[in-house]
Amino acid sequence: MAILCGPAVRAGATFLSIRSEARAVENLRAAAQMLTNDPDETLVVIGPETPADEALSFASGLRLSRPHVGVVLVREQVDVDLLTRALQSGVREVVPMNDPAALNAACRRSRDVSERLTTPTHVEPGEPARDGQIVTVFAAKGGCGKTTLATNLGVALARDAGHRVCIVDLDLAFGDVAISVQLDPARTMVDALPMAGHLDTAGAASLLTHYATRLDMLLAPVTPGDAEKVPPTLVGELLTVLRGMFDFVVVDTPAQFSEHVLTAMDASAHHVLLTTPDVPALKNLRVTLDMLDLLSYPRDIRSVVVNRADSKVGLSSEDVERVVRSPITAHVPSSRAVPISINNGTPITISTPGHPVSQAIIGFAHQRLAVAAAPEPATRRLGRRRR
């Protein structure tokens, strides 16, 4: 069901397509009363006759009292100023009048957000509730399979370990998470900009793209130039909120250190450092480890993973350990099945869970991540430069 507020619900063509599953009221006071009488209601559509200030004030109040209720605002004209004010007030979507398809899509997305907000995190009987863990996957050289590892780790933690998981694509300029799983994001990280400084779970949930049971994704911007708009402080704010919503937040990163990457590493309970058994990748891994030491990140939260570990390139596992001067936590074999799974848009841990590549990733997720206790992120880094 939904509550349609405003005189336009009686005759406006905009509402015809959803009227059969909605209840019409004349004004916001009646809408508020209906919400009081129906604690299970999760959607209010406010028509164009309701003054914008009144609609935004109504949404702002709901954001605090009933954050699982979504507000969709219908306007005759939609501009940047209205969108900014609406998002800041907690409105989930603003759609133009006389566009039933856009309204239906906005209502579906809002209901999806409400469902995620009202689905409790699974906790075993007797197990105390705790904050989720952030896992940052990093490789200082491109082409190592970082996005593939991050997405499959998310699948393994959600599907096989039964956790609620969010995958965050922090490669803001060239993120591949969406295309690798064939998702067309309606909203991305750049849509969090109007909420900066006052982001809450409802706002964060509105940015997510659902992928599978217990698995959601916060995707990278798709429009050129949007990457530069996302400040590191917003990344930190997003991760803090997501950590309270999910058991695990898996962060896929670009192949270079940046303030955004360091912000994620600051918040992380685990650093998964990926390499392949070739000299350039190993050299970059060695530099990465030295950098993390310089910045005083604890060594016990690191996991070094070698991808395509069985490649016949003249370097043994002992050679790799000697070069990087660090123990190898996991070896993921090479297989043609991996690029095939990417081209098909289905992570290999879903399409072929029994494959050796899947088993290596699932084993690593269970043994190193799912059972490890998370240290407090705030006590992590002592040596990073001060400002």
pLDDT at 211: 92
**How many residues make up the chain in this entry?**
387
pLDDT of residue 340: 93
pLDDT per residue, tens digit, the chain (387 aa), is: 789 998 764 444 444 445 556 788 989 999 999 999 888 899 999 999 999 999 999 988 887 778 788 899 999 888 888 887 887 778 888 899 888 888 888 888 888 777 766 654 433 434 344 479 999 999 988 889 999 999 999 999 998 767 899 999 999 999 999 999 999 887 899 989 988 888 888 889 889 999 998 999 999 998 878 899 999 999 999 999 999 999 999 999 999 999 999 999 999 999 999 999 888 888 899 999 999 998 889 999 999 999 988 776 666 677 777 777 888 899 999 899 999 999 999 999 999 999 999 999 999 999 888 765 444 554 444 444 433
What would the pLDDT profile of 49-78 be if each residue is shown by its tens digit? 999 999 999 988 887 778 788 899 999 888
Hey, what amino acid is at 82? L
CA 100: distance to chain centroid?
28
SS3 labels along the chain: CCEEECCHHHHCHHHHHHHCCCEEECCHHHHHHHHHHCCCCCEEEECCCCCHHHHHHHHHHHHHHCCCCEEEEEECCCCHHHHHHHHHHCCCEEEECCCHHHHHHHHHHHHHHHHHHHCCCCCCCCCCCCCCEEEEEECCCCCCCHHHHHHHHHHHHHHHCCCCEEEEECCCCCCCHHHHCCCCCCCCHHHHHHHCCCCCHHHHHHHCEEEECCEEEECCCCCCCCHHHCCHHHHHHHHHHHHCCCCEEEEECCCCCCHHHHHHHHHCCEEEEEECCCHHHHHHHHHHHHHHHHCCCCHHHEEEEEECCCCCCCCCHHHHHHHHCCCCCEEECCCCHHHHHHHHCCCHHHHCCCCHHHHHHHHHHHHHHHCCCCCCHHHCCCCCCCC
| pLDDT number for residue 373 | 41
* % of the chain beyond a pLDDT of 90: 48
Q: What's the pLDDT score for residue 105?
A: 85
Instruction: Return the sign of the alpha-carbon dihedral for residues 315, 316, 317, 323.
Output: negative
Q: What is the pLDDT of residue 203?
A: 87
Question: Distance between CA 172 and CA 253 in Å, rounded?
Answer: 8
User: What confidence score (pLDDT) does residue 122 get?
Assistant: 39
pTM: 0.70
What are the CA-CA distances from residue 102 to residues 18, 69, 109, 188, 234 (Å)? 11, 19, 11, 18, 28
**What's the CA gap between 122 and 130, in Å, rounded?**
11
> CA–CA distance from 119 to each of 67, 112, 116, 216, 311 (Å)?
13, 11, 5, 13, 43
Q: Domain 3-118: which topology?
A: Rossmann fold (3.40.50)
Intrachain domains 3-118 and 133-373 with the same fold: yes
Report the pLDDT value the prediction gives residue 127, as an integer from 0 to 100: 38
What architecture is domain 133-373? 3-Layer(aba) Sandwich (3.40)
In the chain, what are the domain boundaries? 3-118, 133-373
In whole angstroms, give the CA distance from residue 255 to residue 141.
5
* CA–CA dist 171, 188 (Å, integer): 12
